[in-house]
């Protein structure tokens, strides 16, 4: 992403210039935590960071703190965290209003809370320990003085933790970025920073990429503890993942993200005790796939993470309605061009089939005929590259991808009524999933007027549907923006909206569930 990762380019440059302050090894040493366990495609991150034409003109105000007092009951110091009785938390968990095992899946039970969110190993990224004055100086040198002053210096850590998938304990990875305020009395809330699509395998994990770690650090420099999960199936450190990434599947994404938060807080209460104080408030904040993940975290929170309070949720250009996205996205564009939307939905349906059935047999969905042989080759294609578009290189028609029976479903716009695909799209759409809404946390819902990856009209209707469910949502649509521009042009609005929710300010009643016309977002470059 050219524009969205431009700030990360600056962070990377800063780290390289100041590398003398850290180890020559960017990964650093692995320290055991005491458990003796040892230890313009959306995904074209590297190319986008290096793009010299990327242009951002966002202005980040200089204020560093939150107005108002944090309720005393919300404060959670390290000693309190260490003393927390997990068995008591377990008793507070309400059962889901459904039995796990949707879409024909064998039933399973969630793993006991005591086995989850445990830190297996961790290490610090010494190159990303950056003081605020150094960041400010180099921002100016690189022509980004409008981003200064950075409120806080940052430290970034990588860690491996336990979570679950379909009733089995698995391991996942994440990045933790904190304001560098050792021995300070400041108390920070946590942002679950949920990444956009970077791929589907270990090599695509954001924490394995310097830019991905830098972006987590950039979030922390705004005054938050930043927990950035890689999502399961994408391990950024340690042993390779033993499973595939369940792409856009709500349950495993939400559960692993909550366990990443638990593990981060455990790390801050243990080996990293004394570095930063935090409370029990968590704001899911995500872009694109991460926007879907943020909404999923919020939906599952009352059932899976009731010990946390959610002051707000920021879902930016999210595919909230996967049924609608499938119906509009599985189309051939002008000049028989297969769009990235086709690739994204193909991966979602294929990974859903694998996750729900437990089988790699994709012959019901994908053709296995010459010249593509997709049914027998797609999994290898998914695992070989982080760019979904490359999977469909040379394909000129959907009949070269899908079976005749699925082509009929596409042509009849009947995916919602088809078996099993109708279940896949409904269970992972926030507007139709069987997990009932049991939380009234306010949501910021940001769309792009001219989104090339997420269907703006589909998501406008999704906003209306979520409002009808009773969720208090504030709408923002950035005028003249695409999928990559809207997140950046509205970044100041997002940050300030989150700060307002942490300050205890409710959304203005006049803004709740009001779908407004596209507006010029604050950080749009003037020259555009």
Residue 475: HSE in the Cβ half-sphere, 13 Å Cα cutoff: 23
Q: Residue 461 and residue 481: Cα distance in Å, rounded?
A: 19
SS3 content of the chain, % helix, strand, coil (to 5): 40, 15, 45
Q: Residue 383 and residue 202: Cα distance in Å, rounded?
A: 9
Task: Note the pLDDT of residue 215.
Answer: 87
What domains does the chain contain, in order, with CATH numbers? 6-64+93-321+431-511 (3.40.50.1820), 322-427 (no CATH)
Task: Note the pLDDT of residue 455.
Answer: 95
Token pair for residue 292? 């879907």
Q: Nearest to residue 255, comparing CAs of 290, 299, 193, 197?
A: 299
Task: Note the pLDDT of residue 101.
Answer: 82
CA distances from 108 to 95, 105, 168, 283 (A): 13, 9, 9, 29
Q: Nearest to residue 279, comparing CAs of 502, 33, 506, 505?
A: 502
Token pair for residue 278? 């935090």
Query: Could you list the pLDDT tens digit for every one of the 528 residues in the chain?
Result: 444 445 555 554 544 444 333 333 333 332 233 332 233 344 443 333 333 333 333 333 333 333 333 344 444 444 443 334 343 444 455 656 566 788 999 889 999 889 999 999 999 999 999 888 776 676 556 545 555 687 899 999 999 999 999 999 999 999 999 999 988 899 999 999 999 999 999 999 999 998 899 889 888 988 999 999 999 999 999 999 989 999 999 999 999 999 999 999 999 999 999 999 999 999 999 999 999 999 999 999 999 999 999 999 999 999 999 999 999 999 876 555 677 899 999 999 999 999 999 999 999 999 998 888 999 999 999 888 888 778 888 888 899 999 999 999 999 999 999 999 999 999 999 999 999 999 999 999 999 999 999 999 999 999 999 999 999 999 999 999 999 999 988 988 999 999 999 999 999 999 999 999 999 997 665 543
Task: Note the pLDDT of residue 351.
Answer: 96
Beta strand segments in 441-500, E: 443-448, 473-478
Please check whether residue 177 is in contact with residue 156, taking contact to mean a CB–CB distance below 8 angstroms: yes
Region for residue 229 given its phi and psi (left: phi exceeds 0; alpha: psi -120 to 50; beta: otherwise):
beta
Token pair for residue 90? 């377990």
Q: Residue 81 and residue 280: Cα distance in Å, rounded?
A: 10
Q: Nearest to residue 463, comparing CAs of 444, 482, 478, 450?
A: 444
Token pair for residue 349? 């349906």
Q: Residue 418 and residue 432: Cα distance in Å, rounded?
A: 15
Task: Note the pLDDT of residue 98.
Answer: 60
Task: Note the pLDDT of residue 337.
Answer: 60
Q: Residue 210 and residue 227: Cα distance in Å, rounded?
A: 16
- List helix spans (H) across 71-227: 78-83, 86-92, 132-141, 210-221
Task: Note the pLDDT of residue 203.
Answer: 94
CA distances from 115 to 36, 169, 259, 282, 474 (A): 15, 8, 10, 21, 37
CA distances from 180 to 47, 229, 274, 347, 438 (A): 30, 20, 11, 39, 36
Find where tokens 């290490």 sit: 123
Task: Note the pLDDT of residue 345.
Answer: 95
Residue 425: HSE in the Cβ half-sphere, 13 Å Cα cutoff: 22
């Amino acid at each position: 992403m050219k524009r969205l990762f431009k700030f990360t380019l600056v962070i990377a440059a800063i780290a390289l210039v100041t590398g003398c302050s850290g180890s020559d090894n960017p990964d650093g040493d692995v320290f055991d935590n005491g458990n003796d366990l040892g230890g313009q495609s959306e995904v074209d991150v590297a190319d986008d960071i290096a793009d010299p034409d990327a242009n951002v003109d966002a202005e980040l105000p200089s204020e560093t703190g939150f107005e108002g007092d944090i309720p005393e009951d919300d404060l959670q110091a390290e000693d309190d965290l260490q003393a927390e009785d997990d068995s008591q938390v377990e008793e507070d968990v309400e059962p889901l209003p459904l039995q796990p095992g949707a879409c024909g899946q064998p039933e399973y039970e969630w793993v006991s809370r005591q086995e989850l969110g445990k830190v297996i190993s961790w290490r610090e990224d010494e190159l990303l320990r950056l003081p605020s004055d150094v960041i400010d100086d180099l921002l100016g040198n690189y022509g980004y003085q409008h981003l200064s002053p950075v409120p806080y210096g940052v430290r970034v850590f990588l860690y491996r933790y336990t979570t679950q998938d379909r009733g089995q304990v698995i391991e996942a990875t994440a990045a933790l970025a904190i304001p560098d305020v050792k021995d300070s009395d400041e108390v920070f809330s946590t942002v679950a920073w949920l990444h956009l699509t970077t791929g589907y395998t270990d090599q695509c994990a954001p924490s394995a990429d310097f830019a991905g770690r830098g972006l987590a650090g950039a979030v922390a420099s705004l005054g938050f503890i930043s927990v950035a999960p890689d999502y399961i199936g994408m391990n950024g450190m340690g042993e390779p993942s033993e499973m595939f990434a369940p792409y856009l599947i709500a349950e495993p994404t939400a559960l692993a993200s909550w366990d990443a938060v638990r593990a981060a807080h455990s790390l801050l209460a243990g080996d990293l005790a004394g570095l930063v104080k935090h409370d029990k408030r968590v704001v899911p904040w995500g872009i694109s796939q991460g926007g879907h993940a943020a909404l999923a975290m919020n939906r599952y929170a009352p059932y899976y993470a009731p010990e946390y309070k959610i002051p707000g949720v920021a879902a930016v250009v999210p595919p909230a309605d996967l049924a609608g996205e499938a119906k509009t996205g599985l189309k051939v564009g002008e000049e028989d061009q297969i769009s990235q939307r086709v690739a994204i939905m193909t991966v979602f349906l294929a990974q859903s089939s694998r996750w729900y059935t437990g089988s790699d047999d994709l012959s019901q969905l994908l053709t296995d005929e010459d010249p593509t042989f997709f049914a027998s080759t797609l999994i290898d294609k998914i695992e070989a590259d982080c760019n979904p578009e490359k999977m469909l290189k040379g394909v000129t028609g959907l009949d070269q991808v899908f079976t005749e029976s699925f082509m009929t479903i596409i042509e009849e716009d009947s995916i919602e009524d088809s078996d099993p695909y109708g279940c896949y799209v409904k269970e992972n759409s926030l507007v139709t999933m069987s997990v009932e809404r049991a939380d009234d946390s306010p949501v910021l819902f940001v769309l792009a007027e001219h989104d090339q990856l997420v269907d703006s009209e589909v998501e406008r209707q999704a906003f209306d549907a979520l409002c009808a469910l009773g969720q208090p949502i504030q709408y923002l649509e950035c005028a003249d923006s695409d999928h990559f521009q809207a997140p950046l042009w509205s970044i100041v609005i997002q940050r300030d909206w989150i700060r307002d929710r942490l300050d205890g300010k409710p959304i203005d009643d006049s803004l709740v569930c009001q779908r407004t016309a596209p507006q010029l977002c604050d950080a749009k470059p003037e020259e555009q």
